[in-house]
Amino acid sequence: MRDAVVVEAVRTPIGRGRASGSLAPVHPVDLLAHSLSSVVERSGVDPALIDDVIAGCVTQAGEQSANIARWAGLAAGLPESVPATTIDRQCGSSQQAVHFAAQGVISGAYDMVLAAGVESMGRVPMGSAALPGDSRGIRLNERYPAGLVPQGISAELIGARRGISRAEMDEFALASHLRAAAAAQDGLFAPEIAPVKVTRPDGSVVEVAADEGIRPTSSLAALAGLRPAFYDEASAARFPEIGWSVTAGNASQISDGSAALLITTSERARELGLRPRARLHSFAVVGDDPFLMLRGVIPATRRVLERSGLRLDDIDLFEVNEAFAAVVLDWRAEIGAPAEKVNARGGAIALGHPLGASGARIMTTLVHALEQTGGRFGLQTMCEAGGLANATIIERL
């Protein structure tokens, strides 16, 4: 019976998604190409053996349009014979890339695949792909006549209905920064990061080797001083229960970055002298309420555990994407996972959330963290726009 294993996993550092960000001068094609070439170089595999490149990217417009996976593969020096495709499952795009790659390998359609993701949010702003017009159409609007809401309002509603206070959200955000800062200080991220040489507008070249968004000096007082990010009068009138607790400080950062994993079978790895590092054990993808769109992580977690035959206590590390503190706190209250096992090295609040790259970034971090801690099983899940969520369980080998 065929399986799917990760033999190498790397990511770029995560830069702030703004003009002054550390990775802002890097074209997104080159940003993705860097992760692709780095994972191939570290593995030592002949790139001609790669059957496909599957990359996630959310805002496929401008510099990220026209199948960025193909252009990045060529920019990375892969043979022209290696195909590539770009997929979009919103924030879970590159986690879905991992699923598709692993499922293709297990089925026998592939022997070796690069699963990756990229987003340069500073160069291609979120929402750039949406042209003027109604993106939902008559029939969808008829199904939800009261109207769907943006993600920020969804996060506010989740927090209000769960009874999560502003203080709890800010405490969670601070913990994310402190955990990420400690991991960076201890060198735990270094093995997974492929430093990027960046040519600045003045012609100088610098090497970016660390995540830019971590704020080790943050404080509860500083977080408490931030204004609500999504308040508007119409939503306040429609949802009087909202306490307006979501801020830029307890939500994910706008970021630039990429990540890539090399996936093959255990048998193929042995043939090529590669070391399998983690087995892709179980997969789930769910649809959930598109109104409270960010709660899909809860049924996704339950489904992947059921499919795996594992219990919650069997999981050594959990990674729940920190789109908003409210999402993870709601998930934790519902699922019952121990706080110390959830996002033990921080998450998107501290590290950043380059949309199409985050699934592969988190998976890369999870593979390395299991190796460094000696844990066996890791579970990763991500909320996605439209009421979607992916969940994956990996097993360290």
Distance CA 114, CA 73 (A): 10
- Of the residues 91, 99, 177, 281, only one is catalytic, namely 91
CB atoms within 10 A of CB 232: 13
Tokens of 52: 């496909």
Tokens of 2: 């065929």
Task: Specify the pairing of strand 388-396 against strand 377-384.
Answer: antiparallel
- Of the residues 57, 99, 177, 383, only one is catalytic, namely 383
Q: Which residue has the tokens 């550092």?
A: 13
Tokens of 24: 């802002």
CB atoms within 10 A of CB 163: 10
Task: Specify the pairing of strand 84-87 against strand 52-56.
Answer: parallel
Q: CB of 382 within 8 A of CB of 95?
A: yes
- Give 397's DSSP letter: -
| Residue ranges in the chain assigned as alpha helix (H) | 28-43, 68-75, 93-107, 137-143, 151-162, 166-185, 220-224, 233-238, 266-272, 297-308, 325-335, 348-351, 358-373
CA distances from 9 to 5, 133, 175, 351 (A): 11, 40, 26, 17
**∠ CA 147-153-156 to the nearest 5 degrees?**
135
Query: Is 177 an active-site residue?
Result: no
Distance CA 50, CA 314 (A): 33
- Of the residues 34, 99, 281, 353, only one is catalytic, namely 353
CB atoms within 10 A of CB 220: 13
Q: CB of 355 within 8 A of CB of 59?
A: yes
Catalytic residues: 91, 353, 383
